[in-house]
């Protein structure tokens, strides 16, 4: 038997994207990763022999998406996703334990077609990325400890906008340098005690750019302290983008600060929710700031909040962001507090609007992965147990030095900067947000996407259902869109030839 159509094997491994090295949002979006390890090692030169072929089984837990009749995506949130060509899929199908015929002869034909060395290396890759399992092999579950401590440092409650979905109570409170430095000392002590190798501080508000001088003084102070202890520090300013000028941008560059700007659409699609207090829209000034940043070689991250009212404008916005090669994150509106006006997120409308925006991405695929950018706070590139770092590796300091577990829940204070070990208090707190493991959510136990979705925002789930153990209110949206995100990543890898 000669398989004339059998091409050389192609395997594309989906990138393991950190939630912080592509797009960022305003959440404590750092997750404890979940992985499986293998304990059995078989020598490569034995793979093709019948005695070892009988030990190889296709990972039946992986589902298959036919991308273009030549390439196929194999996925399960418990494992790293891969894309293979038809030849590899044929080989994998021969390892199906449900196959009644003996596949040995067919596999030997594949060995002859590919050559032994290529066959060995292909099987080695497939085992490494868990597309193949070895009969009798024991697998162990492992939690990879998050090495990044994320911090929300609330600079001020003051803001010049009156955004309809804002969860911050506006007043004139401003953090003092003394309180800020005490917060940084608390952050450093926590990082040292719990062996964090990286700290990310988000300078937020309110509108923190009012007090950029305070931010820069605190960040310079933090850099000196953290450098002494070999802890990598990243500083990010979360801003509405309306107040910036060239001098402020120069300050940003000199202090190596990153910037996240909220932009919900072009023109009125942005203005519908993000207005000044006099009712006028803020888009023109935000757009001016983005252009000014780009002219000065700074690429801001763009945080997009999606509702019924602006989802139809997503395609136009994403076309602009992709042309400018800007990182972005798509975040579905969370009904945490009563909004200042009517805001709705109808499932069908959100799904339809996001699918339309994915079509725009398909025609303008970027050279960076979007696996952690395209669907709320979900990182589709790697398995994890929690949707965010709340209660694990995330601290929120308000302007007065009080500590909360989430910036959306700052009214509930559980510690203060004078406490010796706020991380321990956060982790052992049982009175507020319970960011439970996805393995504890019975409604999600049979879902193939559970180690990507992890049940969504715990606070939003609680407000929607009265229980932290329920599935996300956005569950149907996630299930409808995750396969489409995988397809986009597959097409992107093909375009840039990211095969292994």
Mean pLDDT confidence for 451-465: 92
pLDDT higher than 60, residue 314: yes
User: Is the confidence at residue 137, as pLDDT, over 80?
Assistant: no
Predicted pLDDT of residue 346: 94
Which has more confidence, 274 or 337? 274
Label residue 19 by pLDDT band (50, 70, 90). Answer: low
Give ranges for CATH 3.20.20.70 in the chain: 144-430+479-486
Calculate what percentage of the chain has a pLDDT beyond 90: 66
End-to-end CA distance of the chain: 29
pLDDT band at residue 24 using 50, 70 and 90 as cut-offs:
low
> For the residues of 410-430, what is the DSSP string, one character each?
TTS--EETTSS-HHHHHHH--
Rg (CA), the chain: 25
Q: How far apart (Å, rounded) are the C-alpha atoms in residues 12 and 165?
A: 40
Read off the pLDDT of each residue in 353-372 and give the average, rounded to a whole number. 96
Task: Retrieve residue 322's tokens.
Answer: 């992709």
Q: What pLDDT score was predicted for residue 151?
A: 97
pLDDT at 44: 40
Residues present in the chain in total = 500
CATH no., domain 144-430+479-486 = 3.20.20.70
Confidence tier at 38 by pLDDT (50, 70, 90): very low
More confident residue, 25 or 147: 147
Place 28 in a pLDDT band, splitting at 50, 70 and 90: low
Q: Is it the case that residue 129 has pLDDT exceeding 60?
A: yes
* 25 compared with 38, residue with greater pLDDT: 25
Is residue 58 very low, low, confident or very high in pLDDT (cuts 50, 70, 90)? low
Sequence-distant (≥ 6) Cβ neighbours of residue 320 within 8 angstroms: 266
Q: How does residue 102 score in pLDDT terms, banded at 50, 70 and 90?
A: low
Model pTM score = 0.91
- For the segment 436-445, what is each residue's pLDDT rounded down to a tens digit? 999 999 999 9
The H or E element containing residue 205 is strand 198-205
In which residue are the tokens 């004078």 written?
418
Token pair for 407: 């910036």
- Please give the Cα distance from 377 to 71 (Å, whole number): 28
CA 77 to CA 270: how far, in whole Å?
A: 34
Whole-number pLDDT of residue 45: 41
């Amino acid at each position: 038997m000669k398989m004339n159509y059998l091409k050389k094997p192609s395997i594309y491994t989906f990138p393991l994207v950190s939630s912080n090295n592509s797009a960022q949002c305003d959440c404590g979006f750092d997750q404890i990763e979940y992985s499986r390890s293998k304990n059995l090692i078989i020598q490569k030169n034995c793979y093709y022999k019948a005695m070892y072929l009988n030990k190889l089984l296709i990972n039946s837990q992986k589902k298959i998406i036919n991308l273009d009749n030549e390439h196929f995506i194999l996925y399960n949130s418990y494992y790293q996703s891969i894309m293979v060509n038809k030849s590899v899929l044929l080989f994998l199908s021969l390892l199906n334990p449900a196959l009644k015929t003996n596949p040995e002869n067919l596999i030997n034909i594949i060995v002859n077609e590919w050559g032994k060395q290529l066959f060995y290396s292909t099987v080695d890759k497939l085992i490494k990325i868990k597309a193949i399992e070895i009969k009798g092999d024991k697998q162990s579950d492992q939690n990879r400890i998050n090495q990044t401590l994320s911090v929300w440092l609330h600079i001020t409650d003051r803001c010049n906008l009156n955004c309809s979905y804002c969860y911050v109570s506006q007043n004139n409170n401003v953090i003092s340098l003394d309180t800020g430095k005490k917060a940084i000392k608390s952050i450093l002590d926590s990082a040292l005690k719990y062996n964090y190798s990286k700290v990310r501080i988000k300078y937020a508000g309110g509108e923190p750019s009012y007090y950029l001088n305070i931010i820069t003084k605190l960040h310079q102070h933090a850099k000196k302290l953290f450098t002494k202890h070999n802890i990598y520090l990243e500083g990010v300013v979360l801003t509405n983008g309306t107040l910036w000028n060239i001098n402020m941008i120069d300050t940003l560059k000199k202090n190596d600060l990153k910037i996240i700007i909220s932009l919900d659409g072009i023109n009125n699609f942005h203005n519908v929710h993000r207005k000044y207090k006099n009712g006028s829209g803020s888009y023109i000034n935000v757009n001016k700031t983005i252009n000014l940043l780009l002219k000065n070689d700074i690429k801001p991250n763009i945080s997009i909040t999606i509702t019924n009212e602006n989802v139809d404008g997503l395609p136009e916005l994403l076309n602009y962001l992709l042309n400018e090669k800007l990182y972005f994150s798509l975040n579905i509106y969370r009904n945490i507090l009563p909004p200042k006006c009517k805001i709705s997120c109808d499932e069908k409308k959100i799904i339809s609007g996001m699918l339309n925006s994915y079509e725009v991405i398909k025609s303008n695929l970027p050279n960076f992965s979007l696996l952690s950018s395209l669907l709320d706070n979900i990182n589709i590139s790697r398995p994890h147990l929690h949707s965010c770092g709340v209660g694990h590796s995330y601290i929120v300091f308000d302007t007065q030095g009080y500590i909360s577990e989430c910036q959306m829940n700052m009214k509930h204070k559980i510690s203060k900067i004078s406490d010796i070990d706020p991380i321990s208090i956060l982790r052992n707190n049982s009175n507020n947000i319970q960011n439970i493991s996805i393995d504890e959510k019975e409604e999600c136990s049979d879902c193939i996407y559970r180690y990507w979705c992890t049940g969504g925002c715990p606070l939003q789930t609680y407000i929607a259902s009265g229980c932290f153990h329920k599935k996300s209110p956005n569950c149907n949206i996630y299930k409808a869109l995750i396969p489409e995100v995988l397809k986009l990543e597959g097409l992107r890898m093909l375009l840039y030839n990211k095969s292994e």
